[in-house]
Structure 1
């Protein structure tokens, strides 16, 4: 990984190496936060850890620039922990194995954490380089963005002193974001009874693996397969004719990542195994044809497992498979106001089995409150039909676009001056923390920028090296172009 520090800008990439070396999955980012705080205090910078665990670092203005508006560079400390099957990696213990792959930096068999590690590294590189000119500066590093936005929810009024916030969590160089979707977690819980395994049955596991997965906001429109939905589709179609009885359904790992894998433990009459194998092979061909341009590595397989003690009650299994197959997923509506941008979506992210219930975790996103409400009601209707309970939690607001934003104008003009073209001013379907910042700081002028990151929230995550350099140039030029108070 030491090769990363040979890249430009060196200060940024050196910091990114350090970030990769210290485990920081969501809810386990305190070691990284404390390392950064100690470094800042050793430099003589003021640091504050607030009541929920966010870190603020303050650096005085460069000489002669004390009159400029104060700027807050913001990033989140945590990363999404996703790995390929069979990979021996513990995110709470092991460093990320980042390496250069042509024009990109990626990681070996895991998420890279460029989301939002590159943004964090850029903020720390600015703090560490006294030759960079800027006005009064704060860096805000929030906790737990990926698993609930705990840090942003807990941010209190009176902590931040700046007038302008530059969010670094965007993932497309050349695009400048002025708004984002809000969201809410939706949990469907279906009670299931248990019955004895019928006689003369054999036990197998049906597994769908090898899908690309990805970010449930940025990648939801790409047509990538959702392992939960695809396995549910097969089971709904063939469970009755084959006499399949399920004992466990497990799919996905995060509500904000498109599920790459799903596994079902089942039993069936021994006489029907050959037909199951034939139908699985046929369905594998169907999926390969339907998803041929996207899911080139999908694998549908059967393997023998130990016989379970019990299986789902027949009526409950029927309701479960109907719920999964009928449940909405993917893009619900595209935006009229912002062509090419998803307005409302849902990701059926995680399915888990307990002794007496099956839980389906979804994430609803929408740039308009009415769209989110519509999908909430769709899930409530589905729950009513299936006999499930719907629980909504963790709702966070969208970031309402402000076309008159002064910092947006500064970024647009600065970008054009640097690169000879205007950036694309856009709204992102991902859930940035900016909407939550507006509640305690309603006057804060905000913008979001970043380099090009592909496939975040998946082991294919990578960041384009050349765009990191362009993002860095833009960030430094914007800091010099901040207007006076």
Structure 2
């Protein structure tokens, strides 16, 4: 392991303890209990609410009794993504931490630095105050639940759950950058009616059951990475199936099952389907899929150079669907296929559905203003369920792109439900907190931090809409490829965040 600042070692040790506790979205109970026990062991006042949000109150160190309370805020849950060949079970297995030079990553899984590293920093800061190793004002450690599936923990906070009106959100992923605003968001759930037809593809029928897939995609955070124009596994598979059907003849290929993506805020890095294919067309189909893989790799040579398309006959149609770290085993029907009408409507929805960047900001160079992520597809008994996740820093344009998603779905006869969205966080460039943070950062490192507004959703927008007169800023250590198995945290950046925080705390005396 590389040489580290002593506090970096403490933070990483704390992070590893947190990573022993399963904490996928909506399943943070064990971590909340662990945090409450941690607070009890340190004689800190603590409480939870009905949602399992946790607040730990840390008294000021001597000389800071009259300083304003500072809220250190992060979220408990993590996006549970893994490589397709990983056997990791996010419901019970600890996250394995692997150190590689200056980087810390998981073992074929997302590592949960988003946002477990925030919890670790807050807890170590509180312990350091007790030991007399750091000075700080009164602190409130606010750890919310279910951020990754819609910011519902922050949305459910009671107005008087915390008292401070200075909030440091530790959920940003580029050290040296202060975030002052973020996009709002809206998820849409689409339900396409599914009609089945009987179809015999048993022995002697001349047909076989095949698995066809698009894998090896980069995926990533649908807010942070959407501007990179990475391939969407769902749309690649829909393109492949639609083109293959035309190639071999509609009567020689029928759809049995379609699944793709894992969570609403990750770009789908895979999709798979089961099809019934005429054995007379198997070689033709294999050659076509091979050629299409070459074409797709050419289209996405920069963003997704390892796109892999596979077509393979299987005896039993068994599929393992991952959603939020939970694995569901399904067996596809053995004697029926999608009706021709349903199949055509599904391809129409998936190929016609918007995905990616819709508009960049007119006022902030380089900022994605509006986007959407065609996130997941699941085959049920009576319907195909599709999720699209929209984001925008302009709420009227968020409504516009949501309407586009709904229009495409309704043209295919699908039903659409919109989840409760969350508001954008509008930047305040005259914030006194921003000035104090800039001064502390430049005084520590001899250079100015960058000030940005981001396309990702942050809890600051929700919290700010609930609390009057609150000043907020977001920052954190450098994390690459969040919401994907390639997620990793840059270890030296943790030290920089710590040293900056140490000097910022002192400035409130």
Q: Is 2:70 aligned against 1:71?
A: yes
Q: Of residues 243, 266, 282 in structure 2, which corresponds to 1:237?
A: 243
Q: Of residues 169, 185, 195 in structure 2, which corresponds to 1:193?
A: 195
**How far does residue 40 in structure 1 lie from its aligned partner after superposition?**
1.2
CA contact (8 A) 1:112 1:459 kept: yes
Partner of 1:111: 110
Q: Is 2:259 aligned against 1:260?
A: no
Mapping of residues 69-468 of structure 1, within 5 Å: 69-130=68-129, 131=132, 132-197=134-199, 200-242=206-248, 243=250, 244-305=253-314, 306=316, 308-468=334-494
Change in Cα spacing, 1:252 to 1:160, as seen in structure 2 (3 Å) is: same
CA contact (8 A) 2:28 2:52 kept: no
Name the Cα RMSD after superposition: 1.7
CA contact (8 A) 1:236 1:325 kept: no
CA distance in 2, matches of 1:464, 1:449: 14
Please give the per-residue CA displacement for 1:156-182, whole angstroms capped at 9, x wherever unaligned.
011211120000000011110001111
Change in Cα spacing, 1:4 to 1:184, as seen in structure 2 (3 Å) is: farther
TM-score where L is the length of structure 1: 0.96
**How far does residue 224 in structure 1 lie from its aligned partner after superposition?**
1.6
TM-score where L is the length of structure 2: 0.92
Please give the per-residue CA displacement for 1:17-55, whole angstroms capped at 9, x wherever unaligned.
111122211122221221121111111110011222110
Contiguous gaps of at least 5 residues in structure 1: none
Please give the per-residue CA displacement for 1:131-177, whole angstroms capped at 9, x wherever unaligned.
21111110000011112322111100112111200000000111100
CA contact (8 A) 2:7 2:498 kept: no
CA distance in 2, matches of 1:440, 1:318: 45
Contiguous gaps of at least 5 residues in structure 2: 318-333
Please give the per-residue CA displacement for 1:223-276, whole angstroms capped at 9, x wherever unaligned.
221100111112222323422211110001101111111101111222221211
Please give the per-residue CA displacement for 1:176-222, whole angstroms capped at 9, x wherever unaligned.
00011110111111112101126532221101111111111101111
CA contact (8 A) 1:236 1:322 kept: no
Aligned residues: 482
CA distance in 2, matches of 1:471, 1:347: 31
Please give the per-residue CA displacement for 1:308-342, whole angstroms capped at 9, x wherever unaligned.
31111001111110110111001111111211111
Partner of 2:322: none
**How far does residue 4 in structure 1 lie from its aligned partner after superposition?**
10
Deviates more, 1:266-275 or 1:96-105: 266-275
CA contact (8 A) 2:388 2:405 kept: no
CA distance in 2, matches of 1:309, 1:4: 61
